[in-house]
Amino acid sequence: MEKILDVLALGRVRFHELSMRGRVVLSQLPLNVTMLFICLLVALTDAREFDDPGFVTAQACALALLAIAAALPWDRIPYGWFLAVPILDFVPIGILRYSTESTLSGLGILGVFPIMWLAGSGYRPRIMVPIGGVAALFMVWVPQFLTGRATPHALASDLLVPFMLLAIGLGSSVMTLSAMAQQARVEELLERTENRERLLNTVLDTVDVGVLVLDDDGKSAYMNAKQRQLYVASLPNGVPTTRESELLIYRDGSDQPVPPEQRPLGRVIAGETIEHEVYQLGHGPDARTVSISGRQFSGASGNNAGTVFASTDVTEVVAAVHARDKFLGAMSHEFRTPLTNILGYAELLQDDTSLSPAAKSDLQIMMRNARHLNHMVDDILAASLTGDDAASIRLPLDLTELVRQTSDSFGPEATNRDITLDLAADTALPILGDRTGLVRILNNLVSNALKYSPAGTTVTLTAREEGEWAVCEVTDEGLGIAHEDMGRLFTRFQRSDAALRSGIPGTGLGLALAKEVAEQHGGELECTSEVGVGSVFTLRLPLRTAKQRMTLS
Ligand code: ADP
């Protein structure tokens, strides 16, 4: 009852939320209320009507129907039977209309209530609405027949009310069906959306990638199971916190927490996009190393709707890389001592005058191969020195001078290979850097250019200034690099098929290390190449600023 009153008062409860019985009572109520109102009108205008048995019967019938509506357990009765009530409603309306004909005319319009109910229920409207129309016809014709006034003229003049009620019924039926179709579509969409959300949640909780979504206010809107694990790993002493600045986030290999302004969440919320940045979360045995990517996403209207982060747990991968580098370092150390011995004794033997020319030539081959082996060991050793250590000591240097020295040292090898080595380096290019690392880059670029170029071609070394950059370019007219090899050119141990096929020796380490060293110096190493035409490797390093020059010189 309370709920019915709430619906009537247009409160929070909606009609479709009521029980079946509540809905039937509420659908019947407007007719009863109107009939009570008619009682009031009659009391005010012509109280004699109360003596009319027809009037009293109509009122009693209407109340009886209301009582039936309230008493029957409609939930347990087959659906649709409740429509007997509006069909029966035409009986009291018919009696009332007939009995008050002389005092209150036009009461047939009360048939609007049952016909609207029949149409609005949406239950078999094609049958129910015409039944309502027929009931309305009976409502007006039956009294004519019972009182013997059923002349063709009288019957025809009474047709308007049932026709009008039928039209109202059909109109509301059309609207109801359309609303019901729309509701069914909305419900279907809702169900599909819920299914999709459930699927998405299951997928996100199954994958091994941590996913975090923040809303446009930077508050956590979604976190999958893996992300919760990573979050727990980064808590200081396991105490929950929502502030990113309090989480234990380190750069891989550093003991100092990342300063708040450099932390990934804050940066991405401020509009930055980050990709595969490696951080350590927490410390001790439970620490995890993660590769984090994050970006903002926009809503339908194009405004910022929030931020998404994906964190891949790379703890095991990083541990494996460290183990590999340790192994490579230990292995190359072990190789170096016997190799140095071989080279030393071979050089001593070379001076031995008792050796025949053939033996000397064999010795030369042995020494060449031993030197090559030595270079490879050097590369492997350098590769095992990961981290920023290599570039930690920065000294004022002149890139032009380094380029010139490299050109000089490769002069003899270029002549041996019948390759012209050109140099275009005039102006000084002051930089800050680690000499060993930078010489290693230049040596690698020039030795590659010579190694992968046929005789009769030219290798050009250029050093020039370009805005804030000191630039060194190594250009060759050699093999060139195929498009499919370009993507992994700077990946460790990667060698092109062309290099492998041509039998040119190498480890595939030099360029990867060169790029690492260039980036440790705040610079970059790039390559453009065309198969059969040649390659251009460009090294860019930040020029030393005037301020740095003053403090260091
Ligand atoms: P390595 O030369 O020891 O194999 P690098 O890392 O120096 O290793 O080079 C990686 C690969 O890139 C080489 O194996 C080769 O296929 C290709 N490459 C490098 N420089 C050149 C070049 N100047 N011309 C053609 N190919 C090159």
The string of pLDDT tens digits covering residues 378-416 is 777 777 665 544 445 567 889 999 999 999 989 888 998
| Distance of alpha carbon 112 from alpha carbon 417, whole angstroms | 106
Question: Going by CA atoms, what residue is nearest to atom 11 of ligand 1?
Answer: 495
Query: Which of 376, 442, 448 best tests ligand 1's pocket when mutated (most atoms within 8 Å of CB)?
Result: 448
Instruction: Check: CB of residue 264 under 8 Å from CB of residue 292.
Output: yes
Mean pLDDT of 150-162: 90
C-alpha distance from residue 247 to each of 275, 282, 474 (Å):
20, 8, 46
In short, whether 490's Cβ falls inside 6 Å of ligand 1 is no
Nearest alpha carbon, ligand 1 atom 16: 496
Q: Which alpha helices (DSSP H) does 207-283 contain, by range?
A: 225-233, 264-269
Which residue, by CA, sits nearest to atom 2 of ligand 1? 506
C-alpha span between 427 and 424 (Å, rounded)? 10
Our answer on whether the CB atom of 453 is closer than 6 Å to any ligand 1 atom is no
* pLDDT the model gives residue 552: 46
DSSP state letters, 237-249: GG-----GGGS-E
Q: Which ligand 1 atom sits nearest the alpha carbon of residue 495?
A: 14
Ligand 1 close to Cβ of residue 375 (< 6 A): no
Domain-by-domain residue ranges, the chain? 2-189, 208-313, 319-388, 392-552
Closest-lying ligand 1 atom to the alpha carbon of residue 474: 23
Topology of the domain covering 319-388: Helix Hairpins (1.10.287)
pLDDT at 60 over 70: yes
Tell me what pLDDT residue 284 has: 83
371, two tokens: 């030197």
Taking the CA of residue 503 as centre, how many other CA atoms within 13 Å lie in the half-sphere pointing to its CB? Answer: 0
- pLDDT band, very low/low/confident/very high, at 553 (cuts 50, 70, 90): very low
Could you tell me if the CB of 137 is within 6 A of ligand 1?
no
Which CATH number is associated with domain 208-313? 3.30.450.20
261 CA from centroid of ligand 1 (Å): 39
Read off the pLDDT of each residue in 119-145 and give the average, rounded to a whole number.
Answer: 93
Which ligand 1 atom sits closest to the C-alpha of 379? 3
pLDDT of residue 215: 92
The CATH superfamily assigned to 392-552 is Histidine kinase-like ATPase, C-terminal domain (3.30.565.10)
* Centre of ligand 1 from the C-alpha of residue 495, in Å: 6
509 lines ligand 1 (CB under 6 A): yes
What would the pLDDT profile of 461-476 be if each residue is shown by its tens digit? 999 999 999 999 999 9
- Do 392-552 and 208-313 have the same topology in CATH? no
How much distance in Å is there from the Cα of 531 to the middle of ligand 1? 13
- Nearest-CA residue for atom 19 of ligand 1: 448
| Nearest alpha carbon to residue 441 among 482, 485, 471 | 471
By percentage, how much of the chain surpasses pLDDT 90?
A: 52
Query: What is the Å distance from ligand 1's center to 132 Cα?
Result: 90
The burial class, CB within 10 Å (0-12 / 13-18 / 19+), for 246 is middle
Residue range 203-221: average pLDDT?
91
Does residue 448 line the site of ligand 1, with CB under 6 A?
yes
Please tell me the distance from the alpha carbon of residue 159 to that of residue 141, in angstroms, as a whole number. 9
Q: Distance of CA 319 to CAs 54, 323, 325, 330, 353, Å?
A: 97, 6, 10, 16, 54
Highest mean pLDDT among 12-16, 41-45, 452-456: 452-456
Distance from the alpha carbon of residue 541 to the mean position of ligand 1, in angstroms = 21
Confidence of residue 333 (pLDDT cuts 50, 70, 90): confident
Kindly give, in sequence order, each residue whose CB lies less than 8 Å from that of residue 8, ignoring residues fewer than 6 positions away: 26
Structure token pair of residue 154: 């009288």
pTM for the whole thing?
0.49
> Can you give the pLDDT at residue 393?
55
Sign of CA dihedral 21, 27, 30, 35: negative
Backbone angles phi, psi at 352, to 5 degrees: -70, 115
Ligand 1 and 534: CB distance under 6 A: no
CA distance 187 to 121: 18
- Expressed in angstroms and rounded, the spacing between residue 485 Cα and the centre of ligand 1 is 10
Looking at residues 269-278, what average pLDDT do you find? 88
The answer to whether residue 538 scores a pLDDT higher than 90 is: yes
pLDDT for 30 beyond 90: yes
Lookup result for tokens 């309305």: 136
| Strand pairing class (534-542; 420-425) | unpaired
**Angle 84-99/53-71 helices, nearest 10 degrees?**
160
Give the pLDDT of residue 391: 43
Question: Within its chain, how far is the Cα of 377 from the centroid?
Answer: 45
